[in-house]
Every structure is written in C-alpha cells, then in structure tokens.
C-alpha cells in the first residue's frame, strides 16, 4: 500500500512525516511529494496544513494541476484522504482568514475565526484539550472518549451538515475537531503531536 503525504511547501511537516513513518514501519510505503503522478497512483493521501487558510490554498495552487488532482482523487476516485489542521479546514466552501478565500468544497461549510468572547479565551487555541467523540468513526477505533489531543488554531470549521462531525472540543464553544464523510477524514488537532493517542489515530487511518 502506498500512502502519500502531499508536500506543497505549507510550512514544516517533519513531525507529520516522522509520525507516519513510525507507525508505518516497513508495512506501508510512505512517500512525501507534490509529484502528480505519484499522488494519482497512491492508495491514500494525507493533506497537512500549517499557516493560514489563504496561504495554504495559494501554495497548493502554485503547483500546476495539484488542486485538480486532489479533487479527482477525493471526489471521483473516492480514495481515503486525511486532512490535518488547515488540511481539514480546506475541505470547506470558503474561509475567512486574511481575506475571503474559496476552499475545495468537499464538505459544505465555512471556516471562521473562533469567537474568543471578547478576549476571555486566548487565540490561538493552543495546547492539549479533550475531545468528545460524538459519532462512531473508523479513525477513532480503540481511542477512548475524552482523550486529549494537541491543538494550535485560531479558526474553526463550521460544516453545514452536522452529521459529518465525529468529534468536538470545548473551548469558547463547541468546536468541530474531527469530521468524516465517506472517504474524507479530517482532524483540527494534530495527531502527529498528540502522543500515543495521535499515533493510534494515524494507525487507524493507515489500516482503513
């Protein structure tokens, strides 16, 4: 099985790469590339994202043909994809970080700034927080409810269809921190920085 981590110059993804290599050992071929041919021939994709919604989409669009290839992989081929942090946020129709920016539209919804209740809550939401698993999800197999995951974000994904939400976290409000829709999986938290529980989630994705 070949799993590709999409490298599109969206910041430091070394911890993502290292954690996938650690879980995969020699059983799964992990490749890190923006090569369209290699992405097309993959069994699964990981879409990381660091920085702003706009900067990540701009970086993707700078690589000729990459957004079309991702669309084809997810929508037409229906192969599994895991989006992490901004990688999840880009599933949305639109994001409002920096400026209004069009997303992939794989899961209808928007990405808005977390309401920090007039400074009561610090932004970015950073550090460990409990997740409340509200829907049975393949990527939460053998992960206990109220496990702690690691977060770094100031914006949240608000999907139109609440049925796609698999976990939420409490910060200033109930923030969507995991979604699942058919072959599309996403986490707002960073599994690669979430110790053994995060590695378990990565294993579940590789085992799909």
Active site residues: 85, 190, 192
Pairwise CA distance, residues 175 & 172, whole Å: 8
* Cβ-contact 83, 91 below 8 angstroms: yes
189: left (phi over 0), alpha (psi -120 to 50) or beta: beta
How many whole angstroms separate alpha carbon 93 and alpha carbon 157?
10
Assess contact for 184 and 157: CB atoms under 8 A: no
Query: Which residues touch 26 (CB under 8 Å, ≥6 apart)?
Result: none
DSSP one-letter string for 61-80: HHSTTHHHHHHIIIIIS---
C-alpha distances in Å from residue 125, one per residue of 73, 155, 166:
32, 9, 20
The tokens for 112 are 């808005």
CA atoms within 13 A on the CB side of 124: 17
């Amino acid at each position: 099985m070949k799993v590709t981590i999409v490298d599109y110059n969206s910041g430091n993804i070394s911890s993502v790469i290292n954690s996938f290599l650690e879980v995969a050992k020699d059983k799964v071929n992990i490749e890190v590339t923006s090569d369209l041919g290699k992405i097309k021939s993959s069994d699964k994709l990981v879409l990381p994202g660091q920085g702003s919604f706009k900067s990540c989409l701009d970086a993707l669009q700078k690589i000729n043909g990459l957004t079309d290839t991702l669309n084809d992989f997810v929508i037409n081929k229906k192969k599994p994809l895991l989006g992490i942090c901004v990688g999840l946020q880009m599933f949305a129709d639109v994001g409002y970080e920096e400026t209004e920016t069009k997303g992939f539209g794989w899961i209808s919804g928007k990405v808005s700034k977390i309401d920090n209740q007039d400074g009561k809550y610090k932004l970015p939401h950073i550090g460990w927080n409990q997740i409340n698993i509200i829907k049975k999800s393949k990527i939460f197999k053998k992960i206990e409810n109220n496990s702690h995951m690691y977060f770094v974000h100031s914006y949240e994904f608000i999907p139109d269809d609440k049925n796609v939400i698999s976990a939420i976290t409490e910060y200033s409000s109930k923030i969507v921190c995991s979604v699942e829709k058919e072959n599309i999986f996403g986490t707002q938290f960073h599994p690669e920085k979430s110790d053994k529980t995060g590695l378990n989630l990565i294993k579940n994705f590789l085992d799909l």
